[in-house]
Structure 1
Amino acid sequence: MKSLVKRRQLCAAVLFSLAIGTGNAVAQLGGDESAEAEERAGVLEEILVSATRTARTDKAISNKVTFVESEEIRIQQTLSLNPTDMLSNLLPSYSPSRQKLTGLGEAFRGRSPLLLIDGVPQSNPLRDGSRDGFTIDLAVVEEVEIVYGANAIQGLGATGGIINYKTLSPSRTGELEQRAELGFTSDDDFHSNSSGWRANYIIGQRVGRWDFIASATYEDRGLFYDGDDEPVGIDETQGDIADSETWNFFAKLGFEPDENQRIQLMVNSFNLQMQDNYVSVDGDRSQGIPTTSIKGSTPGEPAENDVTTITLNYGHLDFLGGRFSAQVYRQDFSSNFGGGTFGIFQDPLIAPVGTHFDQSQNNSEKTGVRFTQVYNQVFDSPLSVIVGVDYLEDETAQALIFSGRDWVPETRFKNTAPFAQLDWDVTEWIQLTGGARFESAKLDVADYESLAGNRSDFQRVPVQGGSPDFDETLINFGGVVRPNEALSLYGTYSEGFSMPDVGRVLRGVNTFDTQVESFLDLAPLITDNLEFGAEYATDRFNVQVAWFESTSDFGVRLVPDADGVFTVNREETRIDGWEISGKFRFTDWVSLGAGIALLDGRFDSDDDGSVDSDLGAQDVGSDRMNLFLDITPPGNFSYRLQSFTYFDNTFRNAAGAATAEFDGYTTVDALVAWAVHPTTQLSLGISNLFDEQYLTYYSQAGNTRNDRYNAGRGRTLTLRANFRF
C-alpha cells in the first residue's frame, strides 16, 4: 500500500534540499531575423513537422501538450544518461528509466508512447523490441513536442501519448554557423573504466533559397558505478548503454522555390553498439545484493541498434486555398540482442538440448506517406477543417543469427488511414474540436514453422499463415474554455489504435493445426482516453492540473516466463491518474518548478468484466514528484538543481496478496554553467548529487530475476564545453 507518511517525509526532504538551479546559459545555433520572415518560416516548419497535425496553438488544443525547448534539452543532456532518462526527468507520468538500452518496462501514463523523429514513427509495432528510445542523438534535436494521452492523430501506436523529436534547422541569417561540443563523463571516484567522452560538430547555413545543416557525433561510454562504488550489472541480453559507443550522422537540406513553399530532405543515421568488455554477475534478491559486472566477453555479436531514417517533406502555405503538407519517409531499423542457451532456442535436430547458443536480431523496414490539408476560417467562418490520409507499410522479421531460423516470420503490415478534423471557434473564449480517423489495416503472414523450444517434446509446429485485417473508426472530441487571459479549461475524449506485439504472439505458437487468421490475440488494441484539465498562467506563475482515465476492453499485458521471455496476455485494463505541474518565477532570474504524477493501473485477471488486480511495474510508472530550481543571475554563471522522488508502492492481486514491492527513493542533480566568452561555454553537471544507493524501479518490482536486480547509477560528473564559431 502506498505510504502517505513516507511521501510527506520525502517531499519535505527534497524541498529542504533545494538551494540552487540553472537556466539560459546554453549556447545554440540561432540568429536575428525579421518578424515577417520568422513568422513565415515558423509556419512552414510547423506544417512540415507537427505532432498535432495542425498549426493551432497549444492553448487552443483540447489535450495536454508540452513543448521542451532546445535550452532544456541541452541542460538534460548534461544531467541525463540517455534520451529516455531525459523523458523520465521531464515527464512525471513517464516511468523511471531503467538506464539500459532497452525500454521494456518504461511507459507513458501506463501505456506505450509513440516516439517520432520529425513525424516519423520510431516504434516497431509488429515486433516491439523496446529499442525505439535510441534512434537519434539529442545534439541534433531542437525541440520535443509531447501530446498526452491515447489518440490517433499520428496513427498507429500512440496509446500513451506522442513524443515528437523535432530536428535542428539552420539559421535564416545567411551566415555560416558552426558549433562544436566536447564532453567528459566519470563516476565520482574516477575509475579508469568508468570514464566516457563525446564530441559533436554542427554546421549550417542559408544561401539564397537553399539551406543546409549537418552534424556528426561520437560518444564512448564507460562502465557505470552505483552509490556503493560497485559496478552496475550489464544487461547482456536486452542491451545496455554502459560500455558502449555511438555514432550519429545527421543532414538536412532545404529549398524554398518561393515564399509559400518549402522542400526538405532529412537523413539521420544512428548506431549504438556495446563494446563487450564486461559480463554480468547475478545479484541476490534475498540478500539485497545487486547484480554487478566483471571483466569478460559474451559469445556472439554485441547488442546493437542500427537505425537510418530518411524523410522528404513538402509544404505549401497557399495550396487550393489552404495549407498543404506532404511527407514520404523510410526507416531501416536493425537491433541485435544478446544470446544464450535459452530453452526457447533449443532443438535436438541442431544440437543436444541445453547446448545450443543462439541470439536474435530484429529487422524492420518502414515506408510511409502522409498528406495533410488545412483550411482555416472556411468561407470567413469560425470553422477550420483539417483533412488528410496516411499510409504505412512495415515489413518485420526476427531471425536467429547462428542457426538461420526465423523466430518471428517475415510479416508485412499495411495501414491506410484517411481522417478529418473540425475546429470551431464558437466565441473568442470557447473552441470546440472533433473528428474521426478510419484505420484500415491488413497483416500478411506466410506459412511458417515455430521453434521446437516452444514445446516440452521439442516438436517443430507448422503454422498456417494468413491475412487478417481490421477496420476501426476512431473518434475524438473536446473543447477549450478560456474565460480570461490567465485561465484555460479543457476536456477531451479520444481513441488510440495500436497492434499488440504480433511477433511475440506468432513466435509463441506451440499447438498443431493453428491458423494465423484464427488468432484472437492478433486483434487490435483500442484505447479510450478521457481527460479534463485546467491551466492558470500569469507573467510569474503557471500551474496545470489534469485528470485522465485510459481504458481498454482488450488490453495488452506482458508476462515473463522462467527465461525472461515475455508472452502477451489480452485482458481488460484501466489506468487513471492525476498530473499537477507548476512554475513560479520569484524574480527575473529565480524560478521554482514542480511536477507530480499519481497513477493507478488495474486489469481483469479472471475475465469477469471487472478490473481486480494491480498492473505491475513493467506496465505503470511510480507515483512521483519532480522539483527544479533555476537561478540565472546577470553575469556569466547560471545554475540548476533538480530532484526526483519516487514513492513506495505495493502491488496486489485480486485476493489482496502482495505480488511486488517497491521501496521508493530520491535523487538530486545539480548543474552550473559558465559563459566564458560569447562563443564559449563550460558546464558541469552532477547527477545523483548525494550518491544515493538505490535499486531501480524495474529492478525492484518489474521482474524477479537475480540477473536483472540492478542498482541505479551513483554520483556521476559530466563536464562539457560548447563552442560557436
Structure 2
Amino acid sequence: MPFSLSKTALATQCALFCLTLPSFTSLAAEQTGADALSMERMIITGSRSVERIDEVPSSVTLIDNEALKQDMLVSSELQNILAFRVPGMAPSSGTSSNFGQTLRGRQALVMIDGVPQSTPLRNGQLGIRSIDAGAIERIEVIKGATSIYGNGASGGIINYITKKATDDDKARVQLGASSKFSAVKFEDTPGYRFDASIDGTNDNFSYVLSGAIEETGLQRDAEGDIIGLIYGLSEAKTQNLFTKFGYDFDEEKYLQLTYNYYESQQLADLTDVTGNVNSGIKTYAIENTTGVARIGEPQGPRGNHNLMLKYVDDELFTNTQLTLDGYAQVIENMFFFSTSLANPSEGYSGGQSLIKSDKKGLRVNFNTQVDWDRVEVSFIYGLDALNDVSSQPLDDGRIWVPEMDMTNLAAYLQTKMVIDGDWIVKAGVRQDNVDLKVDDYQTLKLCKNEATCSVPMDVKGGDIEYDTTTFNLGVRYNMNEHLSPFISFSQGADIPDLGRLLRTATVEDISLVQTESSVVDNYEVGLSGQYEDINYEFSAYRSESELGTTTKYDEATGIYLPVRAPHKIWGYEAQLSYQVQDNLRTGITYTWMEGKNTETDSYLDGSIISAPKFTASIDWNPIDAAYIGLSYLYVGDRERFEAVDGKYAGTQAPVSSYKLVNLSSSYQINNWQLSLGVENLLNENYYSARSQAFTYNGYNTKGLGTTVNLGIKASF
C-alpha cells in the first residue's frame, strides 16, 4: 500500500487540529459543521509524524487557532495563554521571562516548527516569547521527559506550529488594530498593536506573509502603580516578521522555506523603587526625573532570526516518507542592568549581560508504514545534527560565560503498533553523542559591596563529551468511547545549564566542574473518555533524575551557587468539560505537583515546583455573530520552607493564593470583527507565584491590574 499522507491531506488535517481538552475547543470551530466535528485529532510533535491523539500513550495539550484568537482578544502574551491552557504548566509571572514557569517541575524545550528556541547551554528562560502569537497556527505541548528532539526537553516540548497558506487560489488578507490601557489609572497606559497578513496558493506555489508591531504603554498594578522593570513590559516595543513559501513539485514532493524575525525591547525611561519579599515592600517603577538617561541598553530579544528549509518526499520508496529539515538561528537576548555584576575596584557599578546563541542543524527523518493483517506498524527513524555556539558576555566587554561550542549527533528509532484498532504500543530509542568545547577563561570578580567579592579563577578549558542512550515505552487501550487508559515510561537526557556552572566555577580545570548530564526517568499513567456531553482526562506522573540543578546562597561572596543533587517530582492533572448546550460550553482543570531533593529529603524550591492551579472557563455564543468567554485562574498556597532569623532565602518564600478572571468578547459584522477583552476583570491586587517565592531584590512586583483591550479586525 503506498504512503497515503500527501501534502494536501496533511495540510487539511493539520488545519483542523483541536485540543486534547475538549473544554478548550472553541465554539466557533465546533459550529463550522459536522465535517469539522468528525475530523480526527492529530499531532506532529510527539513522533515527528502526523498521528491521532488517541494513539498517543501520554498527555498532550493542543491549542488550536480559534482558541489562540480568543485568548488574543485579552492579551498576546504567550506565557499567559500557556499558563491557563496547559495543565501541568506553572502560572505566568506576567513578565517577559518564563523563569520559574516550568512544565511539570522541569524545563520545557520551546520550538518553532521543530527548531529549538530555548538555549539549554545557558538557559536564560526567555524562549516562550520568541514569536508573535499572531504568526502561530496552533501550539502542541507534549508533557514529560522526551529525547525525540534532543537536549533541553526534560519537562516536555512546546512547539509553535506556524501559519499555513490557504488552499484557495484567491489571496486571503487579514488586517487588525487594537489598543490596551489600564482601567485603574489611564494616564500614559494606552498602547497599540497593528498586524497584517496575506496568504494564498497560485498553482504549485504557496505563500504566507505576516507582520505585527505592538507597543505597550505603562503597565500598572491594581493600585495604579507602574510595575517594576526587571523583565518588565512597560513601554516595550515588539516587532515580528514571518514569511513562508512553498512549492509542490508534484503530488508527493514539496519544498518549503520559512523565515521569522522577532524582537521585543523595553524602552521605558523609568527607575525602580526596589523592595523584596522579606522587606514586605513591593517593587514598583517611577518616572526618571534625574535628567540622566537610565543606565544600560533596552532589555529583551534584540533581533532573533530563524531560517528553516524543509523538503518532503511522501513516497521516497514504497510506504516510506522522507523529511529533510535544515535550519539556522541567531539569538541575542539582553538582560536588565544589575548591580550584582558590580566590581568597584575596576570601575563597574554593575553590568548587563546578554545570551548569544548561534545554531545550525540538519534533521533527516524517515517514516515507513507497514500493514500486517490486523496490525498497523510505523517506523520513524533518522539522524539529527546540531551545532550550538552559546555564550553570555556582558555588554561592557567582560566575559561572564565563555563561548561553548557544542556538536550533537544523534540517531533514533520510534515504532508504533496499532493492534485491532484498539491497542497502541509505542517504543523508541535514541543515541546522542555530544562534543562540547570551551577555551581557557577567567571567572568574573563580582562584588556585593567593596568588601564582599567573589574570587576570580583561571579555569583551564577543554572538551566535554556526553554519550547517552534513552528509551521510551507506552501502551494505550481504546476500550470504548467511555474509557481509554494509558501507561508510559520515557527518558530524556539533559545537559545541565552549563553556563551557570562555568561562570561560578571555584576550581582551576573545567574537568573538575560537575558538568555531568542527567537522565530523567518519567513514569505516567492516565485515562480519558467521554460520557454523552462530558469529556474527561486524568493523569498522574513521577519523574526522577540523578542530577538536578538548584542554587544556594554563599554568604561570603553574596553569590548564588549551583547545586547538583538528585530530584524526584510527582503530581497529577485532571480536566473535565461539559457541552451544556449547542452554544454553551464549560470546562475545568486542576494541577498539583510536588518535588524533593532525595539526597537531603528536602522540598524543591519555587523556581522548580509551582503551587496548585485550578482553571475554569465558560464559552457562549448567544447569537451566531457574537462570542463571550470568561476564564478563571486560581493559584493555591504552597508553604514548604521556614524563615531563618525572620527572612527567607533564594526562591523559598511561601506562596499565598490568588485568583484572576478574564473576559473576552467579539462581534462579527460581515468581514469585520469588533472585540473587547479585559484582563484581571475584578482588579485582583496580587503578587504572582514567582513574585512571592523569589526573594531577590526587585522581583516582588505586583500583577497587572484591570486592563482593557479594544480591537478591530478585517478579513478579505
| TM-score over 0.5 for the pair | yes
Residue in 2 that maps onto 1:471: 467
Matches within 5 A, 1:169-184: 169-184=164-179
Residue in 2 that maps onto 1:722: 713
Residue in 2 that maps onto 1:489: 485
**In 2, Cα distance between equivalents of 1:357 and 1:187:** 33
Residue in 2 that maps onto 1:315: 312
Structure 1: which amino acid aligns with 2:297? E
Find the residue that maps to 2:410 and give its secondary structure: strand
* Displacement of 1:24: 4.3
**In 2, Cα distance between equivalents of 1:720 and 1:709:** 31
Residue in 2 that maps onto 1:91: 86
Matches within 5 A, 1:178-257: 178-189=173-184, 191-235=186-230, 239-257=231-249
**Residue 292 in structure 1 maps to residue 284 in structure 2:** yes
Structure 1: which amino acid aligns with 2:463? S
Q: Residue by residue, what CA displacement relative to the aligned partner does 1:423-468 show, whole Å, maximum 9, x if unpaired?
A: 1223321111111001111110111122133896765422111111
* Displacement of 1:326: 1.3
Residue in 2 that maps onto 1:124: 119
Which moves more between the two structures, 371-380 or 587-596? 371-380
Residue in 2 that maps onto 1:646: 635
Residue in 1 that maps onto 2:501: 505
Find the residue that maps to 2:188 and give its secondary structure: helix
**In 1, Cα distance between equivalents of 2:504 and 2:454:** 13
Matches within 5 A, 1:537-686: 537-538=530-531, 540-559=533-552, 566-604=560-598, 606=600, 612-652=601-641, 659-677=652-670, 679-686=671-678
Q: Residue by residue, what CA displacement relative to the aligned partner does 1:10-31 show, whole Å, maximum 9, x if unpaired?
A: xxxxxxxxxxx9954599xx99
Residue in 1 that maps onto 2:17: none
Matches within 5 A, 1:16-55: 23-24=26-27, 50-55=45-50
**In 2, Cα distance between equivalents of 1:589 and 1:219:** 33
CA contact 2:276–2:695 (8 Å) conserved in 1: no
* Displacement of 1:33: 12
Identical aligned residues as a percent: 26
Matches within 5 A, 1:20-169: 23-24=26-27, 50-80=45-75, 82-169=77-164
CA contact 2:550–2:562 (8 Å) conserved in 1: yes
Specify whether residues 102 and 379 from structure 1 end up closer, same or farther in structure 2 by C-alpha distance, changes over 3 A only.
same
**In 1, Cα distance between equivalents of 2:338 and 2:114:** 37
- CA-atom RMSD, angstroms? 2.8
Q: 2:527 is matched with which residue: 521, 534, 548?
A: 534
Find the residue that maps to 2:639 and give its secondary structure: strand
**In 2, Cα distance between equivalents of 1:418 and 1:497:** 14
CA contact 2:675–2:711 (8 Å) conserved in 1: yes
* Displacement of 1:411: 1.0
**What 5-or-longer segments of structure 2 have no aligned partner?**
1-23
**In 1, Cα distance between equivalents of 2:606 and 2:277:** 17
Structure 2: which amino acid aligns with 1:480? R
Find the residue that maps to 1:95 and give its secondary structure: coil
* Displacement of 1:537: 2.1
Structure 1: which amino acid aligns with 2:525? F
Residue in 2 that maps onto 1:364: 357
Q: Residue by residue, what CA displacement relative to the aligned partner does 1:335-382 show, whole Å, maximum 9, x if unpaired?
A: 11122443x44173x33xxx5443212110011111111111256653
CA contact 1:549–1:574 (8 Å) conserved in 2: yes
Specify whether residues 310 and 538 from structure 1 end up closer, same or farther in structure 2 by C-alpha distance, changes over 3 A only.
farther
CA contact 1:23–1:632 (8 Å) conserved in 2: no
**In 2, Cα distance between equivalents of 1:32 and 1:206:** 26
Specify whether residues 339 and 457 from structure 1 end up closer, same or farther in structure 2 by C-alpha distance, changes over 3 A only.
closer
**Residue 393 in structure 1 maps to residue 399 in structure 2:** no
* Displacement of 1:715: 0.7
Residue in 1 that maps onto 2:377: 383
Find the residue that maps to 1:661 and give its secondary structure: coil
CA contact 2:312–2:324 (8 Å) conserved in 1: yes
* Displacement of 1:564: 8.4
CA contact 2:641–2:654 (8 Å) conserved in 1: no
* Displacement of 1:601: 1.2
**In 1, Cα distance between equivalents of 2:430 and 2:511:** 25
**In 2, Cα distance between equivalents of 1:312 and 1:598:** 40
Structure 2: which amino acid aligns with 1:637? A
Q: 1:333 is matched with which residue: 314, 331, 334?
A: 331
**In 1, Cα distance between equivalents of 2:36 and 2:540:** 41
Specify whether residues 690 and 425 from structure 1 end up closer, same or farther in structure 2 by C-alpha distance, changes over 3 A only.
same
**In 2, Cα distance between equivalents of 1:457 and 1:98:** 31
**In 2, Cα distance between equivalents of 1:488 and 1:631:** 29
CA contact 1:267–1:311 (8 Å) conserved in 2: yes
Find the residue that maps to 1:722 and give its secondary structure: strand
Residue in 1 that maps onto 2:6: none
**Residue 710 in structure 1 maps to residue 696 in structure 2:** no
Which moves more between the two structures, 365-374 or 249-258? 365-374
Structure 2: which amino acid aligns with 1:280? D
Specify whether residues 241 and 347 from structure 1 end up closer, same or farther in structure 2 by C-alpha distance, changes over 3 A only.
same
Q: Which has the higher contact order (CA 8 A, sep 6+)?
A: 1
Structure 2: which amino acid aligns with 1:436? V
Which moves more between the two structures, 134-143 or 83-92? 83-92
Residue in 2 that maps onto 1:517: 511
**In 1, Cα distance between equivalents of 2:234 and 2:33:** 37
* Displacement of 1:109: 0.5
Q: Residue by residue, what CA displacement relative to the aligned partner does 1:297-348 show, whole Å, maximum 9, x if unpaired?
A: 5212111202111110111211122111110111100011122443x44173
Structure 2: which amino acid aligns with 1:530? Y
* Displacement of 1:128: 1.0
**In 1, Cα distance between equivalents of 2:209 and 2:277:** 48
Find the residue that maps to 2:45 and give its secondary structure: coil
CA contact 1:631–1:640 (8 Å) conserved in 2: yes
**In 1, Cα distance between equivalents of 2:381 and 2:83:** 34
Structure 1: which amino acid aligns with 2:329? Q
**In 2, Cα distance between equivalents of 1:268 and 1:567:** 36
CA contact 1:268–1:310 (8 Å) conserved in 2: yes
Specify whether residues 55 and 580 from structure 1 end up closer, same or farther in structure 2 by C-alpha distance, changes over 3 A only.
same
Kindly tell me the number of residue pairs found equivalent between the two proteins.
676
**In 2, Cα distance between equivalents of 1:148 and 1:371:** 24
